[in-house]
Each structure stands twice: as structure tokens, then as C-alpha cells.
Amino acid sequence: MNNQTYKKLMKKCITLAKKGVGKVEPNPYVGAIVYDEEKKEILSVGYHQKYGFEHAEVNAIKNLKESAKNKTIIVNLEPCSHWGKTPPCADLIIKSGFKKAVIGMIDPNPKVKENGIKKLKEAGIEVLVGICEEECKKLNKVFIKNVTQNKPYIMLKTATTLDGKIATPTLKSKWITNELSRNEVQKLRSKYQAIMTGSGTILHDNPKLNVRIKNKKNPIRIIFDPNNKIPVDTEKINVFKNDSAKIILINNEEIKIPNHIEQIKFKDFNSLFLELYKKGITSIMIEAGAGLNSELIKAGEVDEINQFISPKIFGCGLNFIQNFNIENVDECVKLKDVNVRHFKDDILVNAIVEKEV
């Protein structure tokens, strides 16, 4: 069968996998299809529905109304080969009698990496790897960062004028973008496990950093305050309110704080994100000012940028990044995989930050 058919089926797997968003983390998003190559027919589908529950391959096989013998299984991520909360999917595929496995991408998890493929091949199953690989990697970008670096995936969101300003010289910033853009920001917030901001944003804007979408859980709030500028003993600071959302304060001194706030001493960004990942935080959305934005980009910790741009020009004011001191063009921070969306007159530029290998 030609690869075009496999590509169409793999895209269906990706669509299936997305049904698990918000339910399976920190596991990857996976969809699976059982296909009859002779009849050119999809026999069953499945996806990973909830953390700790059956994987996509298991669900697709359970949904079959006939034998899997000599059939093809299509899955966007290499089947697992180890015992975790569930048995190895590779073993079940072998036991079920599949003739072929079409796989989107190799699992980057060191516990699995190529071991599932090896098991399938040793059992005599034909294996095809790399169908729609880039789309599969994009789907599981958070999982890939988690298991390869033991750090959360970091996305920086900013809202600027056409000339890159996030506020006027008097620090006025409401509202640069339109209501459609602001609604999209709420959707972005709902997709990330935590939101991180700096002391400057807290003191100037006093944001709530919640999700104003019905039935969506508020993210963990991470407050970066290395110079201990924010008074934590006042209910006037919105992010410190005890509203069931987890709150983590990053600072440099042992200070008396309310019991519902967790404190982490700041050493450097690398240590901070390693520690946050150990605490189970897999993805963080940055909504901050120029200072924190700049430091995170300089430190190489930002993986992705979402910049909402409004058709306004301030001509002066606060930039969304500062103090880079770049003299040559080839020293700049480079972005790739750029996508543009329109929200009436506003535009959203989404891009991945290129990093040195």
C-alpha cells in the first residue's frame, strides 16, 4: 500500500489522540487504528483516554469485532515495551497476530526508545516508521521535552503593538489586543498546567492568572520574585488568594508566607525548571513583562512563542524583550515553524524557538 494512504490514516490517529488532551498528562497523546489492507477498510479505532487507563492500541484492539490476525495497526507513537501502569502494548500487538505496524514516531522515552519496534520486528511483524513524523512530534512536543530533558515545556505568550510594545511609557497596557485575541489567551491558558509571571507584572497589573472558561481548571500559579518585591501577607494581591489553585513563589529569602503558598529558592533557571518538573509540572505558559521574558529567552528556556500583534503604534514605551545587546544579525534568536492566525484585525504569530544542538 502506498504511503499516501498511511498518511491519511496517521492524520486520523492524530485527530483521535487529541481527544485525550487535558486527561492523559503527563502521558503522551496517542491514537490507534486497526486497518484491513485487503478490504481497504478501517476496522476499529482507539485512543488513550485517561492517565493510568488503557493505551490507544489496547482500546483499538478491544473495539475490534473480528480477529486482528494479518491486519495492520497504525499508531502515532511507538508502542510501549515496558510495564508501567498498564502492560506493554508491543506484547499485545504481537499476541493479537498483526502482520504490520505503521508508526508515526519513535518514542523518545529512554525506557521505550526503539525497544517496542525491536520487539515487533523480532516477532516477524513488518514495521514502517516515520509516517507524518513532524506532525506526530508537534502533537507530543510537551511529552518529548519532559522525557528528554526532565523539564517542563515552556511557552511564552505576549501581546504587543505593531512596533513591539507591551505598554506605554506610563505602563498602561489595557487593552492592546481585541476581545477575540483575549478569548484565545484564555484557551491557551487552559492548555497549560501552570502559568508563570514576574513581580513587575504582579505589582503593575495585579492579574488573577485564572482561566475564564466554564468547567476549565485554573492552572498552577508560579510567581517569580527573586528580589522579594511582592508583599505576600496581603489579600490585595490576586495571585496569592487561596482559591484552590496551587501557588508557587520563587524568591531568594526565607520569609513568612501563608500556608497555602509553596516557596522555592531561586538559584538559576535550569535548576528551577528541573525542580518544577520533579514536582510534576510538565508545561508552563509565561505571561510576563520584558524582564522575565528576556531572561528566559537568554537562558534558552523558552520553547515556543505566541505573539498577539495589534494594529497600533505607540512609538515609545516598554518592549516585550530588552537588553539583548545583539550587534550582528547572526547572533539573533531564530524562530522556525511559523504560523499566523487572524483574530479580526489582530494577528497571532506562533513559532518554535530554534536551539543549538
Domain presence at residue 145: no
Tally of domains in the chain:
2
Dihedral (CA of 329, 330, 335, 339) sign: positive
Most confident of 16-30, 215-229, 255-269: 16-30
Claim to verify: residue 106 and residue 215 sit in the same structural domain? no
Sign of the torsion angle spanned by Cα atoms 71, 77, 82, 86 = negative
Q: Which residue has the cell 482507539?
A: 46
Expressed in percent and rounded to 5, the helix, strand and coil fractions of the chain are 30, 25, 45
Sheet bearing 100-105, strands edge to edge? 41-47, 31-36, 72-77, 100-105, 126-129
**Cα 328 versus chain centre, distance:** 32
What pLDDT is stored for residue 1 in this prediction? 62
Mean pLDDT is lowest, of 81-85, 167-171, 272-276, 309-313, for 81-85
Is residue 41 flagged as an active site residue? Answer: no
Q: Is residue 315 part of a domain?
A: yes
CATH number at residue 94: 3.40.140.10
pLDDT at 151 over 90: yes
Domain that holds residue 216: 150-353
For residues 156 and 134, state if they share a domain: no
H/E stretch holding 68? none
Which pLDDT tens digit goes with each residue over 35-54? 999 999 999 999 999 998 99
Catalytic residue among 37, 54, 57, 122: 57
Q: Which residues pair with 73 in a beta bridge?
A: 34, 101
C-alpha span between 210 and 241 (Å, rounded):
11
pLDDT digits (tens, 9 = 90+) for 111-148: 788 899 999 999 999 999 999 999 999 999 999 999 99
Instruction: Give the C-alpha separation, 136 to 29, whole Å.
Output: 9
Backbone angles phi and psi of 126, in degrees to 5: -70, 130
Q: What is the pLDDT of residue 173?
A: 78
Based on the fold, state whether residues 154 and 261 are members of the same structural domain: yes
Tens digits of residue pLDDT in 219-261:
999 999 998 888 877 778 888 887 778 999 998 877 777 888 8
Assess whether 52 and 127 both reside in one domain.
yes
Domain ends where: 140, 161, 185? 140
pTM: 0.90
